[in-house]
A and B are shown apart, each in its own frame.
Chain A
Amino acid sequence: MTSSVIIEQLKREKILDLLNQGKRIDGRGLHDQRPLSIEIGVIPKANGSARVKLGYTEVITGVKIQPDKPFPDLGDKGILICTAEILPLADPKAEPGPPGEEVIELARVVDRGIRETEMLDLKQLVLIKDKSVIGIFVDSSVLNTDGNLFDACSYAAVGAILSCTVPKYEIKNDAPVLVEGVTSKPPTKTIPVSVTMARIGEYIIVDPTADEEACMNARITITTNSDGNICALQKGGSDGFTVEQLFKCSEIALSVGTKIRKQLEQLM
């Protein structure tokens, strides 16, 4: 992934210099995100799909909905599985093959954001308790990397879920059968928004690019729900935060999150 990038010394100095003046290398304010575009319905064969561009970071997510067996201890809930991968065409450093730890972290952070905010009411997805449920598979593929894959994947996943149509299944002879032509909206309860911040020196910046990630000391991803609660969190990077910094991060996550949520709500 991008952490192995060796950034030119000149650029590193410039990034630090500019931060001291309260500026960023691409002209953004410290707490500004890059332009975010979300396009839905890009893969007609999927039940829901979204293509997200966050600056030059690009992600496509497809949702597949199909009957499945429930998890053994969760017979009264449908299945939700979120995966993420960095396609080898997204980055000269990415390689095909089993995912590395950074990609696994990415997939799990995206999954946690959607699961822990209880975006989907999985109880509405049961066909026969303990036997048959509807499974929602949310697969995200990174198409181009330029930092902050967490938020880009998360917005694509949330966008794809919001845009999806759930096919109807009926039980006939103990087996689920697709009812043609009948669909419903997904049982969503809230809209999770993840906001990733990097700490470079004493500065907290929102939505770091790959160059900024190459300079950062630590990173934090905070996911909030529509009620303004903090629901999922992941700290990364080889250094830490002070308590004050973490308080500030949560405030930023809520205020930036509100703007993004408005953009996501328009997809519904």
Chain B
Amino acid sequence: MTQLMNENGIRCDGRSIDQIRNVSIKVGVLKNADGSAYIEFGKNKILAGVFGPRDVHPKHMADQDSGILRCRYHMSPFSVTERKNPAPSRREIEISKVIKEALQPAVILKDFPRTVVDVFIEILQADGGSRCAALDAASVALVDAGIPMRDMVSACAAGKVADKIVLDVNDEEDKEGQADMPVAYMPNLGKITLMQLDGILTPNEYKKCLETAIGGCKQVYEIQKKALMEKYFKNGEA
């Protein structure tokens, strides 16, 4: 077993307990998509593409009063150490669902009856916390597509590693640590839209873990905002 934290509280990848990995986001990377984003979150490399609002197929899924949101989280066969079968696994189907439900409170689709907004997420290389990173890219891609939104959605995990609450759990910490709590958050409205937990936490640790994760979400929000500004407002002042 690798040592997850040294005596000075430095983690196995050199971070302190309250530090997120390097995050970079690029907006508008796919020509054919209505909106898109590419994120590198630690070793995660993820593409998100948004199509729509557009006609719903199959027709029976359409809602006469509102647009609907669909989401696909998919891992490339070469994204992980052991080659992954390209067919969607039960894990990917569950993650697709929680990501969709994390974005749903943010999007406003009432003006698009009988249509669908499709969010396609491709994990080109996976590291710990891929669902949070995927959400961060998807949220930016939705803005890029011009889908009306109440707020951004920013996501980051916190967890318990070597008996300490740490921000942004990486792959090794996820596999060998004590708890992992992915959280998605609407930073301006202060609402949590995704939350999961694997592992055991005391009530106090639970509170601290959630607060730590939200702190991470706020840091990610600034990076999302910067990426959008970079694409849309680079050459001019309002």
Q: Are A and B in contact, CB atoms below 8 Å, in the complex?
A: yes
A contact residues vs B (CB 8 Å cutoff): 42-46, 49, 56, 60-64, 66, 83, 85, 87-92, 95-96, 137, 139, 141, 143-146
Within the assembled complex, what's the spacing in Å between the Cα atoms of A145 and B72? 19
Contacts of B83 in A (CB 8 A): 64, 66, 137, 139
User: CA separation between A143 and B45, bound complex, in Å?
Assistant: 14
Please determine whether B118 and A88 come into contact, CB atoms closer than 8 angstroms.
Answer: yes
Closest approach, in angstroms, between the C-beta of A66 and any C-beta of chain B?
6
> In the complex, A61→B77 CA distance in Å?
10
Q: How far is the CB of B76 from chain A (nearest CB, A)?
A: 6
Q: Chain A contacts of B33 at CB under 8 A?
A: 89, 92
* A141-B31 contact given A46-B78, A64-B83, A96-B72, CB 8 Å threshold: no
Chain A hits for B86, CB < 8 A:
83, 85, 139
**Contact in complex: B32, A43 (CB < 8 Å):** no
* Shortest Cβ distance from B57 into A: residue: A95
Contact assessment for A43 and B36 in the assembled complex, using a CB-CB cutoff below 8 Å: no
Whether B78 and A64, one on each chain, are in contact in the complex, defined by CB atoms closer than 8 angstroms, is: yes
Known: A60-B76, A143-B30, A144-B30. 9 other contacts (CB 8 A): A45-B80, A66-B83, A89-B33, A89-B36, A89-B47, A90-B30, A92-B32, A137-B78, A141-B76
Q: Quick check: A43 and B30 within 8 Å, CB to CB?
A: no
B33 (CB) vs chain A CBs: closest residue: A89
Q: Which B residues are in CB contact (< 8 Å) with A141?
A: 76, 122, 124
> What are the residues of chain B within 8 A of A49 when measuring CB–CB?
78
Among candidates A44, A45, A56, A95, residue contacting B31 with C-beta atoms closer than 8 Å: A56
Interface residues in B61-77 (C-beta closer than 8 Å to A): 72, 74, 76-77
User: Which chain A residues border B49 with CB–CB below 8 Å?
Assistant: 87-90
Contacts between the two chains (Cβ within 8 Å), count = 91
Q: Is B125 an interface residue (CB 8 A)?
A: yes
Closest residue of chain A to B38 (Cβ to Cβ) is: A143
Pick the contact of A87: B45, B79, B82, B120 (CB < 8 A): B120
Question: 1/0 contact trace for B106-138 toward A, CB 8 Å?
Answer: 000000000000101110111000000000000
- CB of A66 within 8 A of CB of B82, answer yes
Q: Can you report 17 residue pairs joining A to B where beta carbons are below 8 Å apart?
A: A42-B45, A44-B43, A45-B78, A45-B81, A56-B31, A90-B32, A92-B34, A92-B51, A96-B72, A96-B74, A137-B77, A139-B83, A141-B124, A143-B47, A144-B30, A145-B32, A146-B32
The verdict on B48 contacting chain A, using a C-beta distance below 8 Å, is yes
CB contacts (< 8 Å) of B121 on chain A: these are: 89
B54 at the binding interface (Cβ < 8 Å): yes
List of B residues within 8 angstroms of A42 by Cβ: 45, 124
Provide the residues of chain B in CB contact with A87, threshold 8 Å: 47, 49, 74, 120, 122
Which of the listed residues B36, B47, B78, B122 has the most CB atoms from chain A within 10 Å of its own CB? B78
B contact residues around A63 at 8 Å (CB): 78
Q: How far is the CA of A42 from the CA of B40 in the complex (A)?
A: 12
Is the Cβ of A89 less than 8 Å from the Cβ of B45?
A: no
Q: Residues of B contacting A90 with CB < 8 Å?
A: 30, 32, 49
| Chain A, Cβ-Cβ closest to B88 | A96
In the assembled complex, the Cα of A13 lies from the Cα of B155 at a distance in Å of: 49
From residue B87, how far is it (CB to closest CB) to chain A in Å?
Answer: 9
Q: Which of A56, A83, A95, A144 lies in contact with B77, CB distance below 8 A?
A: A83
How many angstroms between the C-alpha atoms of A92 and B145 in the bound complex? 13
Of all chain A residues, which has the CB nearest B122?
A87
User: In the complex the two chains form, what is the Cα distance from A91 to B47 in whole Å?
Assistant: 14
> CA of A139 to CA of B124 in the docked complex: distance in angstroms?
11
- Determine if B78 and A62 form an interchain contact, defined as CB atoms under 8 angstroms apart: yes
A61 to B120: give the CA distance in the assembly, Å. 18
CA distance A196 to B217 in the complex (A): 47
Give the shortest distance, in Å, between A100 (CB) and chain B (any CB). Answer: 14
Contact A62 B79 (CB under 8 A): yes
Which B residues are in CB contact (< 8 Å) with A144? 30-32
- Tell me the bound Cα distance from A43 to B83 in angstroms: 13
Measured CB to CB, the closest approach of chain A to B218, in angstroms, equals 28
Shortest Cβ gap from B118 to chain A (Å): 7
Interchain CB contact under 8 A, B72 and A88 = yes
5 cross-chain pairs, A with B, having the tightest CB-CB distances, nearest first: A62-B78, A89-B49, A64-B83, A89-B120, A46-B78
| Contact between A139 and B45, CB atoms less than 8 A apart | no
In the assembled complex, the CB of A43 is this many whole angstroms from the nearest CB of chain B, namely 5
* Nearest-Cβ distance from residue B180 to partner chain A, whole angstroms: 20
Q: In angstroms, how far is the closest chain A Cβ from the Cβ of B115?
A: 13
